[in-house]
Amino acid sequence: MSRIKKFSVILFVSFLVVQTGFAVEKPPQRLVSTELLKHAGLKILWEQQLPIKSRKGWPGPKTESLEQLRILDNRIYVFSDRNYIISLDRENGKWIFGKAFTPGSLPVGGLKLYRDELLSANGNKLTEIDLETGEELRAMEIGYTIICPAARNSSYFYLSGTDRRLHTLNADNRVQVFEVSADNDSRITSIIAEEDYVIFGTDRGNVVSIKPDGPTRLWQFDAAGAIAGEIIRDGRSLFFASEDSNVYRVDMTGLPGRKSFVWKYQMPGLLEKEPRVTRRFVYQYTRTKGVTAIDKGGSFLWHVPGGVDLLTEHNNKAYVITENSKLVVMDNNRAKKLFSVNFNGVTRHAANVMDSKIYIADEHGRITCLQPVE
């Protein structure tokens, strides 16, 4: 290597350390081999080696690992176990920002996107974050601990507290306007905020819709077990999982005080998180059992034992990651398995129901974006 090239490499590494506070390692081999990707009909759109912090300099013992990937609109957010968050353009992998949002001992609350801002709820603090820079725009300490991701519309913020109340704050001055609770005083664990209604789910199976500007109930649906994860809105339909082992579909009719139960589908075990909902299908993970696909009419399609999550759909194919790091490709038209590919080394992923891209990573900061090809 020439002296000029050596100097360029040193300068680039120094830039990363100064800009991000991280030391970086020599880029490792690809997360998944090109031979396996070719067999699976996948191509690499982009890949990144994200910086990993060291205690005693480069390379040094690790004190941080990649913990979670999350897609919000056209960005993918990478969470470390030290609560450092990196925002990447999910089309090309371009670095948008990297920022530590909370002390390492305090978990990062679920981010929610509202227009050009991110909402973050951590402990008793509500923060609005600039989408492009990661800079804190406004922050406010609340007199209670927030227990699920915040939601908002153009007029209000909606926060669920440990006091089992849904608190509604004016979006301009953050003064509380009203609060409301479920009739059975259950904890509110999921919130959807729209301009003409607000919906919340509880740990006793209630799904409640209220007016956005006052504590007036529009309708209520009760499942037999706690709502698991978030309630997913798809047009005028709501899809959600319950700890009674059922996945539900409830349609909103658009009439005040009306909702319509459509179907429930019983899964083979305990449900802990929300379903993945695409244009035609609903995919549900069941602990120790796998991933089940049903159509939006509530009919069984297929089951992948050991499946963990849906990675994406493409041309009537579903791509499912399993607990033993295999990629299983299912044909939705014929309800049958096409093939599986070894994804050994992949330990992190993002569920993508927006398009056909696949996002996989490992705990060391390797992240890859794949695209199915014909």
pLDDT (tens digit per residue) in 118-150: 998 888 999 999 999 999 999 999 999 999 999
- Site of tokens 């290597």: 1
Count the alpha carbons within 13 Å of 124 in the hemisphere toward its beta carbon: 7
DSSP structure string for 282-343: EEEEETTTEEEEEETTS-EEEEEETEEEEEEEETTEEEEEETTSEEEEEETTTTEEEEEEE-
Question: Model confidence over 319-366: pLDDT tens digits?
Answer: 999 999 999 999 999 999 999 999 999 999 999 999 999 999 999 999
CATH class, 22-63+281-374 region:
mainly beta
Domain map (residue ranges) of the chain? 22-63+281-374
Cβ atoms of 126 and 142 closer than 8 Å: yes
pTM: 0.88
Amino acid letter, 114: Y
What are the CA-CA distances from residue 107 to residues 22, 68, 100, 179, 255 (Å)? Answer: 20, 12, 11, 26, 40
The CA angle 201-204-210, to the nearest 5 degrees, is 35
Distance, CA of 227 to CA of 240 (rounded, Å): 7
Report pLDDT digits (tens) over 267-300: 999 999 999 999 999 999 999 999 999 999 999 9
